[in-house]
Structure 1
Amino acid sequence: MGVHAKEQPPRRAEGLVYQCRLPLSSATLDLVSGLVRGHLKKIRWRKLPPGRIALIVLAVLRHGQRLSDMAGGHGISASTVRRWLLEVTGLLAARAPRLDRALKKIARKGGVVVLLDGTLVRTRRRTGDANRPNFSGKHKTHGLLFLALTDEKGNLVWISAAKPGRSSEITIARHNKITIHLREAGLGALADLGFVGLDDDPDDPVIVTGRKATRGHPLTAAQKEANRLVSRERAVNEHGFADLKNWRILTKVRMNARHATTLLRALLVLTNAQIQR
């Protein structure tokens, strides 16, 4: 008769910490560390130094790491990581440029045009009537809509407040008085066909959108070519949106528009610190 060894239960990997590469520049880490260091001078002592706090927060923002995972690896609680995350995003969002200042800065640098577009950040769906305004019929999903301006190279310069997904881009643009700010700064803007009718002065437009075809009036060859030229010039704004959505924390956004606005503006500051074309 053979002798059978007793089967041992699998060992749990408790106490082990895994590592991953954080694809961010030292300038981005220095920016966040400096903000944390200045903030710590005004409040009570923290368990970890500013550089470590900045690294933890950036890991959550960039990789969407679970708060409990980051907390366990550094001997702190998940609620502490959550508090740091809210504090740092608030500090970063406060540095996000206002619309009028962003446009005037581009004008001072010799810029003549900006690119206007909107995008939807998908959110976790909730049940109930209160969730209906967040459903976007255009994208067939729940989310929060925001507008952004980029320069001619695709660098993000401004982000609007987040609005429910069913909102229209042209309504958000009117609410933010984008045409007025463009005229004050002496700039023009290129936008897609969703912004047709936004400019209230057709004799001296500051927003170029191309032309729409109607049932009785198809586009001419010249108008089609003009639309292609506008689309080609606008293509670089997708680089700005792609840079922003590389922060995986956006895959976990919920329906709170105010929190989402703070988060998006914080990520705008980080994106500009990380990438400049």
Structure 2
Amino acid sequence: MPLSSRTLNHLADRIRSHRQQRKSRWRRLNPGRQALLALAHLRNGDTYTRLAAGFEIGIATAWRYVQEAIALLSAAAEDLDTAMRRIRLLAYTILDGTLIPIDRVADQKPYYSGKHKRHGVNVQVIADAAGRLVWASAALPGSTHDLTAARTHGIIDALTRANVMTFADRGYQGARGSVRTPFKRRRYRPKLSRRQKAVNRAHAKIRARGERAIATLKTWKVLIKLRCCPRRATAIVQAILVLHGVEANRYAG
């Protein structure tokens, strides 16, 4: 796995502390092996059947160990208010939404995205000026519009209160506040002026950097397609956000 030992040790320390608090008895895997198991699932997208065979444990045990690690990590994730302490120091931010595909579920209509023509969950992503991942929101059903999702999470209000200029695509038209979107041609109205087209080109160059943050999030291959209950998506995204923060700061200290 393309991860540093710092990330592995960070997760192993959390698992070790959790076991000590619970005074847990002997387990099939030590904290280091359990951390490796969870990272293999999150980073490589390995199935529980494959993990069980590789670590010589039962499938149910592999599932339980992975879920325990995800819960420990997601509990340490920053909420938006905490993340804003760092975000308000940035020159500007880039806001974008992404769809994380899922398998079909019984109540599939709320999860079907007409834009992407597939089922999934909507996650809002904030990136800095260099396109680095700063924060990711909880998951909402895939049919949720990006603007609605941003308002539901309070992202637009938080960025506006902090007076942080934010670049977003046309999906956020009408957001107002500190959010800047490109000019959009309306029906039965004159074409965009040369100045407006130039502004849109400059805006697109800035906003394109936000795709790097989404690509960074999806280097964790479990997000290529979630094969679990959509309600577990938020915990997985938050766990990955914590691990990404550790990995991105692996040279610190």
Q: Would the TM-score normalized by the shorter structure come out above 0.5?
A: yes
Contact 1:90 1:266 in 2 (8 A): yes
Structure 1 residue ranges without an equivalent (≥5): 1-21, 200-204
Q: Which runs of 5+ in 2 are unaligned?
A: none
2:248 maps to a residue whose letter is I
User: Quick one: distance in 1 between partners of 2:2 and 2:66?
Assistant: 19
Q: 1:67-120 CA deviation, whole Å, 9 max, x = no partner?
A: 12222332321111111111111111122211122122233xx41311100000
Contact 2:103–2:227 at 8 Å: present in 1 too? yes
1:26 counterpart residue number: 5
Cross-structure match for 1:10? none
Query: Is residue 178 from structure 1 mapped to residue 155 from structure 2 by the alignment?
Result: yes
Other-structure match for 2:166: 189
The residue aligned with 2:219 is 246
Q: Is the 8 A contact 1:114 1:152 kept in 2?
A: yes
SS in 1 for 2:129: coil
3-state SS of paired residue (2:77): coil
Shift of 1:218: 1.6
Alignment of structure 1 residues 183-262 onto 2, 5 Å: 183-199=160-176, 205-215=177-187, 216-254=189-227, 256-262=229-235
- After TM superposition, the runs of 4+ consecutive aligned structure 1 residues lying more than 6 A away are none
Q: Does the 8 Å contact 1:104/1:185 carry over to 2?
A: no
CA drift of 1:42 comes to 2.0
Matched, 1:88 2:54: no
Cα distance change of structure 1 residues 123 and 192 upon mapping to structure 2, 3 Å threshold: same
Q: How does 1:102-117 map to 2 (within 5 A)?
A: 102-107=83-88, 110-117=89-96
Give 1:18's aligned residue: none
Structure 1 position 66, deviation (Å):
2.2
Structure 1 vs Structure 2: percent identity of aligned residues? 38
TM-score (norm 1): 0.84
Q: Structure 2 CA distance, aligned partners of 1:249 and 1:99?
A: 23
Aligned in 2, Cα 1:145/1:255: closer, same or farther, shift over 3 Å? farther
Kindly provide the CA deviation profile for residues 36-82 of structure 1, in whole angstroms up to 9, marking residues without a partner as x: 11111123122221111111111111112121222233232111111
- Label 1:78 to 1:69 Cα distance change in 2 as closer, same or farther (>3 A): same
Q: Which has the larger radius of gyration?
A: 1
Q: Aligned residue pairs: how many?
A: 247
Per the alignment, residue 8 of structure 1 pairs with: none
Q: CA RMSD in A?
A: 1.8
